[in-house]
Amino acid sequence: MKKLLLTALAVTTVVTSAQAERNLNTGCGLGSMIIENQNTVAKQFVAAFTNGISGNQTFGITTGTLGCDKPELFVQNEKVEKFVADNMDNLAVDIAAGDGETLETLAALLNVSDKTSFKTKLKNNFDAIYSDESVTSAKVIDAIVTIAG
């Protein structure tokens, strides 16, 4: 029974992956792929819960599947991808301020040697990093890598 359910789930994911629209509240991942028309709080909750318990958003970001965008300037560090995806709001606040724990952690994950310069560059280019309210973590990573050079 479990094999049949998993097979059906996998087929549904593959079939809907090309057509799925990502809900900004639930992000990308398995839950966002299998829960269609997320126009109610209940459906969004189920999608977000499924994304959380399946733990597949990092895989989706890395591979560009499950409705996730793969960074164009691929950072070879899953920890960075997961960290940025999990901390988009806190990172935005810290970049805007030019300092903070989330920004410090990102600099450490990226092995930045001149953290002061890194923070200043990001603060001065905040609008390029967080270009709009629906920016994805992949786009944020691309912008940070490009700006921090």
- For residues 96 and 70, the model is more confident at 96
Over range 3-32, report the average pLDDT. Answer: 54
Q: In this structure, what are the phi and psi dihedrals at residue 5, rounded to the nearest 5 degrees?
A: -65, -45
Over range 60-76, report the average pLDDT. Answer: 65
- Please name the residues in contact with 100: beta carbons below 8 A apart, sequence gap of 6 or more: 90, 93, 94
Q: Is 83 helix (H, G, I), strand (E, B) or coil?
A: helix
Q: Is 28 helix (H, G, I), strand (E, B) or coil?
A: coil
Instruction: Please tell me the predicted confidence (pLDDT) of residue 33.
Output: 79
Each domain of the chain, given as residue ranges in start order, spans: 2-63, 78-148
- For residues 15 and 94, the model is more confident at 94
Instruction: Please tell me the predicted confidence (pLDDT) of residue 78.
Output: 79
- For residues 86 and 36, the model is more confident at 86
Q: In this structure, what are the phi and psi dihedrals at residue 28, rounded to the nearest 5 degrees?
A: -105, 165
On average, the pLDDT of the chain sits at: 78
Q: How many CA atoms lie within 13 A of 109 on its CB side?
A: 19
Q: In this structure, what are the phi and psi dihedrals at residue 23, rounded to the nearest 5 degrees?
A: -85, 130
